[in-house]
A = this chain, B = another copy of it.
Amino acid sequence: MPLSELEGVILGIVSTREPCSAYVVRQRFERSPTWGWSSSKGSIYPAIARLKSRSLLAGEPAQGDRRNTELLRITASGRQALQEWIGAVGMEMGGVPVDPIRTRVNYLAALPLSERRAFLDRCEHAAFEALARASTAVPDPQARNRWTLHATALGILMQVETKLRWLRAIRAVALEEDRTILPETQP
């Protein structure tokens, strides 16, 4: 069976950082600049265990460390599984992913005008902060293949800029008084 997104990413992280511990893998998720990776221990460790049981990752105890540190490496079949996972881009992935702010804008008419303004203020502020973070972010200095990380960082930057432009564009429409209540459509 194919890899899940989580498993694919773990394989990818190990491939650019090997040998590295599960702890380091988890850190990469925690420091991820994107929204959506939660990455509790309860998901990462079992996922790594699954990958090991499928022989896509191999682990060996670190020398001279008594903390049970295990250093992970990607195996030959793991590298192949990674390539297949990357190649398996479906047509549906061309669309835009779910964005919790965009989702909420769908139902913004349910808020009174004053709260709508507060909502947009908070969203713009959050997006502005994210833009600042994305602008100053420095990709994992210990990873090999830095260009891929820069390409990804560019994508994040472009998307967050667009998000901010969009939020500013819809402001006028969202705050027009007469749009608060529309007449019931005829049955």
Q: Which residues of A contact B (CB under 8 A)?
A: 5, 8-9, 11-12, 15-16, 33-37, 79, 82-83, 85-87, 89-111, 115, 118-119, 122-123, 125-130, 133-134, 142, 144-152, 154-156, 158-163, 165-166, 169-170, 173-174, 179, 182, 184-185
Contacts and interface: CB of A to CB of B under 8 A. Distances in A.
Q: Is the interface of A mostly helix, strand, loop or mixed?
A: helix
Contacts of A148: 105-109, 174
Given A89-B119, A91-B129, A96-B163, A109 B182 contact: no
A115 B166 contact: no
A95 B56 CA distance: 32
- Oligomeric state, in number of copies? 2
Contact of A89 (B85, B126, B142, B182): B126
Contact of A110 (B15, B95, B147): B15
A152 B106 contact: yes
Contacts of A130: 94-96
Contact of A104 (B86, B107, B115, B174): B86
Contacts of A36: 97-98
Nearest to A144: B182
Nearest to A98: B36
A103 B149 CA distance: 10
B96 A111 contact: no
Nearest to A156: B96
A9 B118 CA distance: 20
A58 B148 CA distance: 50
